[in-house]
Structure 1
């Protein structure tokens, strides 16, 4: 997606969030007080965030969100930017989206959220890269400029389903008493103007980075999640998890991809179908950009891919693989290196169990990409799908190959 296409997408999004308003791109350092404005940070050519004009505390707060994925330099840049906006630097930023109310205007997203939360709020808008599950994510600020909530906006059939799924997940997770995990609270889930809105509490993330290598997933917190949702062990081939993957293969429209995926599943089932596998839950997108550490607890957000009844340990593989691919690109070599990484392994697991887990992860993520590639904006993930499907083919063959006498995997 080009910069212009990204900006066009943002303007269309703002238009849906401010119905009854004339929405336009402007280049003007002076705010029109008869309208609402969102300021591009740092610029329209390279947008990272849209912050509310005329609200310096809120604009500053918009930059003060920190995840484990951020380097020390990136954290420093955010802090400097936050201090600058708090001091009034928005006057230096000319690129804006202006929302001018018509004579008889409809309620805006800010008015609706003010009613939902019981206090007057304004919003900013995150700017993400184009993905098959791309959706608007709003930051919500109170009168004092504090970020009090985040809102996920389901604006398509796919993203509305994911928003509802995350709402259900958070409702269930809230019933648990967590010692090592801190999870956003579900504040509201509902429809507005044909959009599905998920409103969740804002976690107070720490400025200072957590210790340890970025590639090392936090095992203790994951073990707490797995213990709370433990379903015991069962033979792989007779499990609901496996039957779901087999069913997914039948939904694949592309004949070549369907055949390759089914053959990989058949190899795994023939060689390891009787294997006892522990089933529990997984976050579904466990990665450094979806978590932080604060006061000894793992803060974990973005639960839209949460699922139960899956093999324990999938999150470890996902974390290492996606951390690696973000740094080095999605390639066969990067996948191979990630699967073999000591950071993917749990000290209580045997090498054979870890190898099987790696293949089950590839089967799970390939199923997600196969279905995702068939939906809106599916072309975005098709190159990644091809790479992951090839990796599944390769590693399922390796897993099912006879072990030479006297050798160990």
Structure 2
């Protein structure tokens, strides 16, 4: 990915290098400074045990054995374009950086962590596509709404900046600190944040004017993107939700839509939440709760679609209608993103919905 970004480049060198670049089994890449590696690695949020060992063990081992402790890591340096360097100098008196080169997808972007010693100052996301620019604008709008509604423990947007003809930077503040704990089980901290955000941002609005409505219409119009075996189930579920809320006034608020352990951390006994780029301004509150459940089941517990459906029916059957709303909205999101891996994920969520229906019929 870094070869496609003009604003920041990796220069490979074995002599006098200041960074190492490494990747995981999913093809994601990070560039971390050799000095102050501990703070630099705060941009690395692994979900697996091996990654967590690497994150906390690498700074210690690097002091003992050198920075080539990560297998197949590449030594080198980072080179900034003049516009990007000027932006950093304008926003920060002093800075160091580490880089996450992005999750391979249609919406891939580079994330730069900016820090000064032990203080994490903020994050900058750099994108090249119109889709990513639209995500930046949505996140800016959502963060401004949260600020106006006095929602605490979220970033503030410092602005969207043009770096060159096809690259823009989205810069935001952070409250994250080195060593901030990430909680991987949904608990009272998550519930408190979601309830407060929802209570402070909810408004009466016509259902047809909500972001959630647009998501429903999109999945209905694009259901053919899914595997044939799931289309009928998804279409029927989406139309049923559409009919239930048609011509109604709803009382809905901001929904994060990517509420996961890796987009949250604990700071001073409070949950700090970031990455609002996919957020809905008006949507049902339940979406975030069930996204957290589903994403941790898939990526941390390594559960299959069949296992997730069975587990949900066993533990949360009374919330089945909420879960259907979440699955339909999430399937719509991944179809909208549209690359091969995104369609695969959409089909995985559609399979969960299909297995829920089969499980209910078997009860």
RMSD of Structure 2 on Structure 1 (CA) = 4.1
Asked whether the 8 Å contact 2:31–2:98 carries over to 1, the reply is yes
Q: Supply the distance in 1 between the matched residues of 2:294 and 2:147 (Cα, whole angstroms).
A: 29
Q: Structure 1 residue 129: deviation in Å? A: 3.8
Q: Structure 1 residue 220: deviation in Å? A: 1.6
**Which residue is 2:128 aligned to?**
155
Partner of residue 59 from structure 2, selected from 79, 82, 89: 82
Partner of residue 100 from structure 2, selected from 121, 126, 133: 126
Q: Supply the distance in 2 between the matched residues of 1:64 and 1:241 (Cα, whole angstroms).
A: 33
| Structure-2 change in CA distance of 1:341 and 1:156 (3 Å) | farther
Q: Supply the distance in 1 between the matched residues of 2:111 and 2:54 (Cα, whole angstroms).
A: 22
Q: Structure 1 residue 283: deviation in Å? A: 0.9
Asked whether the 8 Å contact 1:225–1:281 carries over to 2, the reply is yes
**Which residue is 1:247 aligned to?**
217
Partner of residue 31 from structure 2, selected from 46, 50, 58: 50
Asked whether the 8 Å contact 1:267–1:396 carries over to 2, the reply is no
Q: Supply the distance in 1 between the matched residues of 2:244 and 2:143 (Cα, whole angstroms).
A: 37
Q: Supply the distance in 1 between the matched residues of 2:25 and 2:309 (Cα, whole angstroms).
A: 38
Structure number with the higher helix fraction is 2
| Structure-2 change in CA distance of 1:47 and 1:250 (3 Å) | closer
**Which residue is 2:12 aligned to?**
25
**Which residue is 1:405 aligned to?**
none
Asked whether the 8 Å contact 1:153–1:160 carries over to 2, the reply is no
**Which residue is 2:20 aligned to?**
39
Q: Structure 1 residue 361: deviation in Å? A: 0.8
Asked whether the 8 Å contact 1:68–1:291 carries over to 2, the reply is no
Tell me, which stretches of 5 or more residues in structure 1 are unaligned? 1-8, 346-350, 402-408
Asked whether the 8 Å contact 1:188–1:200 carries over to 2, the reply is yes
Partner of residue 10 from structure 1, selected from 2, 9, 21: 2
Tell me, which stretches of 5 or more residues in structure 2 are unaligned? none
Mapped pair 1:385 → 2:356: no
Asked whether the 8 Å contact 2:28–2:103 carries over to 1, the reply is no
Aligned positions, number: 356
| Structure-2 change in CA distance of 1:367 and 1:157 (3 Å) | same
TM-score by length of 1: 0.72
Task: Give deviations 1:246-281, integer Å, cap 9, x for gaps.
Answer: 431465284766964433322444578699965222
**Which residue is 1:348 aligned to?**
none
Mapped pair 1:192 → 2:182: no
